[in-house]
Amino acid sequence: MQKSIVYLLFIIQTLICDNVDVNSPEFAEQLYIKLFKRRRAEQLEAVKSFKKIGSYEKQYSMIFLMAEKVFGTIQESRAQIESSGYIPGTSQFPTEVKTREALSNILENTALFSEIILRFPEISTIVLKLNNNWDLLLRWCIIFCNEVHYLLDTSTVKLINLVSQELNHTERDPNYINPYRKSVSKGGNVQEEDVKVEKKRKRKEIRKGPRLTEL
């Protein structure tokens, strides 16, 4: 907590030195951009720690619980944003506290779950399929993030683009590869689920013939 306060004071001092009016929406926006970048670094470290959980079942449970929390928060924040009159990409950075918090919740939680999707694609894909509303809400989040891309750092903009391809929300680049998938193919045409289905189908075809014990 103390380090965060020191960092915040450092940012404020820097912006003041740049002659930015501390009461203006521009100041609030620049402050948020810098804090968001730091927040993303903290998120990334937390997501990486998931890899230390060796059990698939525990990883699945944690990601499912995270999805419930993330999308619940985003849904509430979306309602707040839409009722506030804030228009992404058009309106100035909000100075009203509830609207600013809602905006922050949408951006940060979208980025957080996007990291989960790319790093744990098999689990997160299943979780999204269990609740279609989450997938639809995530599509809305991605569009929203693209409209306010100027609030995001370069790595997060790239992350959002990759997630859109991973989930086939947009057409995949021919060279797209998710290195975190257990079964990877260039362009993402073959995924682990497809491999499992194909293997299962082949096993069934083989079983149709006479077994050794029946000869």
What are the extents of the domains in the chain?
25-171, 175-210
Half-sphere exposure of 172 (CA within 13 A, CB side): 16
As given in the structure block, the two tokens for residue 197 are 């289905």
Which value, to the nearest 10 degrees, does the dihedral of the CA atoms of residues 160, 162, 166, 167 take?
Answer: 30
Residue carrying structure tokens 């990291």? 115
Give the integer Cα–Cα distance in Å for 57 and 54.
Answer: 9
Give the integer Cα–Cα distance in Å for 146 and 129.
Answer: 23
Structure letter (DSSP) for residue 191: -
As given in the structure block, the two tokens for residue 117 are 């999707």
Cβ atoms 10, 18 nearer than 8 A: no
Q: Which pLDDT score is estimated for 212?
A: 28
CB contact set of 209 (below 8 Å; sequence gap of 6+): none
- Expressed in percent and rounded to 5, the helix, strand and coil fractions of the chain are 75, 0, 25
pLDDT tens for the chain, 215 residues: list them.
Answer: 444 543 444 444 455 455 555 567 888 898 899 889 989 999 999 898 888 887 889 999 999 999 999 999 999 999 999 999 999 999 999 988 899 999 999 999 999 999 999 999 999 999 999 888 999 999 999 999 999 999 999 999 999 999 999 999 999 999 999 999 876 544 444 344 444 443 444 444 444 443 323 32
Burial pattern 138-148, b for ≥16 Cβ within 10 A else e, equals: beebbebbeeb
As given in the structure block, the two tokens for residue 101 are 């918090």
Give the integer Cα–Cα distance in Å for 100 and 119.
Answer: 29
Q: How far is CA 154 from CA 36, 40, 147, 149, 151, in A?
A: 12, 11, 14, 9, 10
